[in-house]
């Protein structure tokens, strides 16, 4: 939907939309003013058709409403606007950036900070698992980092759009597809579509690997090869700078057999020896960003909010169990840069396009295809390959390549 139709619109005679923040596969996210409580909120929207997307959107809101933990995203309100044909949910508007963006900006994290983030995510996951829910898409892009009022780093796990009850198959993906992000998927999730806490703990192990190494444990030009490595390959050695205790926690979480993988309590014990992040340690200054449809940052003048980081970066990354289609090559993360408190430069359209392809955010890649320096027909062919990895369209024709 054209954002111009939404900006200025009142939802439920309470939330007045003031600006567009991001867009993606499910819809768009806007900054809005809650007139009743006089506060800024993020208003996440989704078309009320097709029914499968609408059902997933409602289920996500209901899932979040049933969880109460400081390391999990929450939802304030849910509704339907018949005039615009949109479902919407109101969520917090928070200053911060995703772990994925922190890695792109500054490279691998210090081990102590990575362990701190791991413990926080693990605590949130434990709450969800005790409630009988499996996230199914734990990854750096779904972990938000922001400051508390005391200046200490806060960690919030976001995007429960594909969460499911334990051992409950997803009726919206009953066609043999597995929901998740290939670089962080557990072997049993790839092979059998298992919905169990073990797949979230494996994904957390892969996420912590990326946090200290700067990239996920398994990388390849196709999702098929990435999946094969998750199923068969040994975990590559971690950098020597990673302490033995943290390295042990990561490698044990990445065991192929879920039966010998540590549970949440065991994994937290392995992460505990690392010192927590000092409350006075500064976080990198960030530009407003919306990540994976969940948490957004409060705009910080005078910089302009960027919509290049689309909110649906992984919600619908579907990998076929029987035949995993090739995807666009994943771009390596930027090498480490000296820590600085300066605001990172706004990414170019080409960088945003490349990032959207790497995150399988096909809708944003398609929107950016006409703004980059590559040949437009070639760019759109890459976008179609991105869709193909999700089983969303036919292969690109020869004339498009």
The pLDDT, as a whole number, for residue 207 is 98
Mean pLDDT value of segment 355-361: 65
- CA 60-61-66 angle, to 5 degrees, is 100
Return residue ranges of the chain for CATH 1.10.510.10: 97-271
- CA 134-91-137 angle, to 5 degrees, is 25
The domain 97-271 is placed in CATH, from the list 3.40.50.720, 1.10.540.10, 1.10.10.10, 1.10.510.10, at 1.10.510.10
Tokens (6 digits) for 94: 């928070």
Q: Which residues are catalytic?
A: 137
Of 140-144, 176-180, 184-188, 389-393, least confident by mean pLDDT is 389-393
Tokens (6 digits) for 364: 């944003």
The pLDDT, as a whole number, for residue 192 is 85
Return residue ranges of the chain for CATH 3.30.200.20: 3-91
38-48 per-position pLDDT tens digit: 999 999 999 99
Could you give the CA distance from residue 224 to residue 389 in angstroms, rounded to a whole number? 10
The pLDDT, as a whole number, for residue 351 is 65
Q: Is the dihedral of CA 86, 92, 94, 100 positive or negative?
A: negative
pTM score, whole prediction: 0.67
Task: Enter the CATH code of domain 3-91.
Answer: 3.30.200.20
Q: Which helix (H) or strand (E) holds 145?
A: strand 143-147
């Amino acid at each position: 939907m054209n954002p111009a139709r939404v900006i200025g619109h009142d939802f439920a005679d309470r939330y007045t939309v003031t600006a567009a923040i991001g867009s993606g596969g499910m819809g768009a996210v806007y900054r809005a003013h809650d007139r009743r409580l006089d506060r800024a909120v993020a208003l996440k929207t989704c078309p009320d058709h097709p029914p499968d997307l609408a059902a997933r959107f409602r289920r996500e809101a209901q899932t979040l409403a049933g969880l109460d933990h400081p390391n999990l995203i929450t939802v304030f309100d849910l509704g339907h606007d018949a005039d615009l044909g949109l479902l919407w949910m109101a969520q917090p508007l928070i200053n911060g950036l995703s772990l994925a963006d922190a890695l792109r900006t500054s490279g691998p994290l210090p081990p102590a900070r990575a362990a701190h983030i791991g413990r926080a995510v693990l605590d949130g996951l434990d709450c969800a698992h005790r409630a009988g829910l499996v996230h199914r898409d734990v990854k750096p892009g779904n972990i938000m980092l922001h400051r508390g009022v005391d200046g200490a780093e806060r960690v919030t796990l976001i995007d429960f759009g594909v969460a499911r009850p334990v051992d409950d198959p997803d009726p919206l993906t009953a066609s043999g597809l597995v929901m998740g992000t290939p670089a962080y998927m557990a072997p049993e999730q790839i092979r059998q579509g298992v919905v169990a806490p073990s797949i979230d703990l494996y994904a957390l192990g892969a996420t912590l690997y990326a946090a200290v190494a700067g990239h996920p444990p398994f990388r390849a030009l196709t999702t098929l090869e990435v999946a094969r490595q998750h199923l068969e390959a040994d975990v590559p050695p971690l950098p020597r700078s990673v302490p033995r205790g943290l390295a042990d926690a990561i490698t044990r979480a990445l065991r192929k057999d879920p039966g010998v993988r540590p549970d949440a309590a065991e994994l937290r014990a392995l992460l505990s020896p690392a010192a927590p992040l000092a409350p006075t340690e500064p976080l990198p200054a960030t530009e407003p960003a919306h990540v994976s449809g969940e948490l957004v940052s409060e705009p910080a003048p005078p910089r302009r909010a960027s919509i290049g980081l689309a909110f649906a970066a992984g919600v619908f990354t579907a990998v076929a169990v029987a035949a995993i289609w090739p995807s666009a090559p994943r771009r390596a993360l930027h090498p480490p840069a000296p820590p600085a408190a300066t605001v990172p430069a706004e990414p170019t359209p080409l960088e945003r396009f490349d990032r959207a392809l790497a995150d399988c955010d096909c809708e944003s890649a398609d929107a950016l295809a006409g703004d980059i320096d590559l040949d437009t027909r070639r760019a759109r062919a890459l976008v179609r390959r991105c869709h193909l990895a999700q089983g969303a369209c036919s292969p690109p024709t020869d004339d498009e390549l």
